[in-house]
Structure 1
């Protein structure tokens, strides 16, 4: 009999052949395993994105020029949704996103989202087209007295605000003076930075439901940063003017006569 190693294709495999074959099978097995794990990885990513959207951060698109020049049309801002879960309430000077409190957006044009936008909105990477939200700056909070006379500055608890964030060429309130008004507890008074292009609290004082005040319960969260476009990356800090001494509610206690006048004006507005 001939040696089996002499036969074509016969004989034991060479050492390199066995190793290469094993590595090929291992690579194929890992590839199949990856494809099996991919749906799980995608599902985990979607769940994490949903949790982040619900409890931590959400991206919102700026639909108008009412907050220029702080925010531009088309900017994407990141909104902190976590701190409200721990009882944190809006503070003076913050830029906040809130649900439409009383049909403030009536008559505003709306666009139909495409499928891509719908998918992204579900996982928090794009704003929901179904949510009617607004973005403004908090000027006064519950218990504050706020006013603005034609030709003058906005005043909170008797303290004049220095507002460098107001759109160039705008006045603080010449197109719609207001107050003095006492902000009810559990609500906020909001204004747009582009004062002459913002349908903010001033323009809803006659609303029978809100009188221009936004319920804190309607606040989604604070806008903390501009995330897109990358050329506009920036944080949104509280302006220094809201940190001046005496702007807190203690100013009302120090001036009970002014407080009574403000309360009377607020009561008159609420029953009117």
Structure 2
């Protein structure tokens, strides 16, 4: 019986270490510094993010990026509005258009997709680059204000991670780690109990 529990304990250790490695290596957090992502995220809020590879980012993703030309290279959280090949346009007081069609943006602050002082723009996103906007359009320094530099876009490989809305993977990893620890604990308890029952000569 002790041999069985030893095997289960070893399996539990593998499960626990593997689950913890998945969480630590594949995820990170960032603290929102300003007002640019209200109401989705507020200043001081910590955002859970998953690390992504270039090419995995999609329209609508909220990403953590760090561009040397923007904000002195400091990381910032913004929403992806356009990817390579997309045509993004907007006139002051009007909604953003994506490939000629108005973009539904239920996440913008006060339902205002334009914001005060938004410049008029009409750009095509180069391949391998992203057009980024904050959700608080009246208070976000984003692609609209870097239009002279490659149409205000940033390279995909400057994205470090994206916000994790679906946390089911993390929950599953946590439960797996817990199961592993239970198996390890059971194996240790069985081993200790077995040694206590050994006859003393």
TM-score class normalised by the smaller sequence: 0.5 to 0.7
- 2:97 aligned residue (139, 148, 155): 155
Residues 1:199 and 2:138 aligned together: no
Deviation at 1:168, TM superposition (A): 1.4
| Alignment partners' CA distance in 2, 1:226 and 1:89 | 16
What do the CA deviations read for 1:87-131 (whole angstroms, capped 9, x no partner)?
6421111101111241x214xxxxxxxxxxxxxxxxxxxxxxxx8
Aligned partner of 2:161 in structure 1 is 221
The SS at the match of 1:168 is helix
Aligned partner of 2:46 in structure 1 is 76
Contact 1:148-1:173 at 8 Å conserved across structures = no
- Summarize the alignment of residues 57-136 of structure 1 with structure 2, pairs less than 5 Å apart: 57-81=27-51, 83-84=52-53, 88-102=55-69, 104-106=70-72, 132-136=74-78
Contact 2:89-2:122 at 8 Å conserved across structures = yes
Give unmatched runs, 5+ long, in structure 2: 1-16, 168-201
**RMSD (Å), alpha carbons:** 2.7
Deviation at 1:170, TM superposition (A): 3.8
Residues 1:212 and 2:179 aligned together: no
Q: Which has the larger radius of gyration?
A: 1
Give the number of equivalent residue pairs. Answer: 151
TM-score by structure 1 length? 0.50
Cα distance, 1:160–1:170 mapped onto 2, change above 3 Å: closer
TM-score by structure 2 length? 0.66
The runs of 4+ residues in structure 1 deviating greater than 2 Å are none
Question: Does 1 or 2 have the higher relative contact order (CA < 8 Å, sep 6+)?
Answer: 2
| Alignment partners' CA distance in 2, 1:69 and 1:173 | 14
Deviation at 1:164, TM superposition (A): 2.0
- 2:109 aligned residue (167, 171, 175): 167
| Alignment partners' CA distance in 1, 2:138 and 2:38 | 11
Deviation at 1:225, TM superposition (A): 4.0
The SS at the match of 1:181 is strand
- 1:143 aligned residue (55, 79, 85): 85
Deviation at 1:159, TM superposition (A): 1.3
Cα distance, 1:136–1:214 mapped onto 2, change above 3 Å: same
Give unmatched runs, 5+ long, in structure 1: 1-44, 107-130, 228-272
